[in-house]
Amino acid sequence: MLLNQSNYFTLDNKTKNAHTTLQTAFIGCQIEHHHQVASTNDIAIARGKAGAVEGTLVIAEHQTAGRGRYGRKWEAPPGKCLLVSVVLKHRLLRAQVALPNLVGAIAIARALQTTHGLDARIKPPNDVRIKKKKVAGVLTELAYDDQQHPFFVLGFGVNVNIALEDFPPELREIATSVGIASANSEDQNTEICRASLLHAILHQLEDTYLQLKAGETDLIMNQFEELREK
């Protein structure tokens, strides 16, 4: 499904009658919302190669071949996470190649802090953790369009409404979700509105990305140091 920013869209059944728009300047100017894909990054790269406008957003409810750094598999139960990729067209200088991962991680950490009061921290170079447990990851991939203009895709996955029992046993001590972290007790999960969280992340992402485009790398690094896991 191809949408534009003036359309309404939802990620949660409970928000079907309370749709909201992104209200960003350019991220989400075009939106593809899929029920299932192999990888949102793969689709976003294909759109970028075909000349998609900057800010094109690909969202999926489920990925069958999601990946993180070094090709590690990213698995998530359908409908319980944010699985998102965005096409961005800033020409990265050699010294800036590592910054998009930090831009994404900063956006996620700040959104979790401001919307849910969670002490989200960045574990370099691309993980966001809460109390030393991974809640989100970022993957940036570089490519060229059909005119040989460079662009990059910034993809991120956030564990939102995954319950503890949804994680494989080997991940229960090292992974968490926004719902688990927001719960009042270990036995109680909190249902999180994914659409609202996505909006918050994208607003933070756009602000920090514009700092990158303006060459304000010191400002980005200062934010990273503030959010870095100690």
pLDDT in tens, 77-134: 889 999 999 999 999 998 899 999 999 999 999 999 999 999 999 999 899 999 999 9
pLDDT in tens, 168-209: 898 899 999 999 999 854 446 578 999 999 999 999 999 999
In this predicted structure, the answer to whether residue 15 has a pLDDT above a threshold of 90 is no
- Report the pLDDT value the prediction gives residue 22, as an integer from 0 to 100: 77
* Segment 20-40 mean pLDDT: 88
Q: Which residue segments constitute the domains of the chain, with CATH numbers given?
A: 2-15+23-227 (3.30.930.10)
- Please say whether the beta carbons of 152 and 141 come within 8 A: yes
In this predicted structure, the answer to whether residue 19 has a pLDDT above a threshold of 70 is no
Q: Considering the chain, what percentage of its residues have pLDDT values greater than 90?
A: 74
Show the tokens assigned to 210. Answer: 């514009």
- Report the pLDDT value the prediction gives residue 184, as an integer from 0 to 100: 54
In this predicted structure, the answer to whether residue 228 has a pLDDT above a threshold of 90 is yes
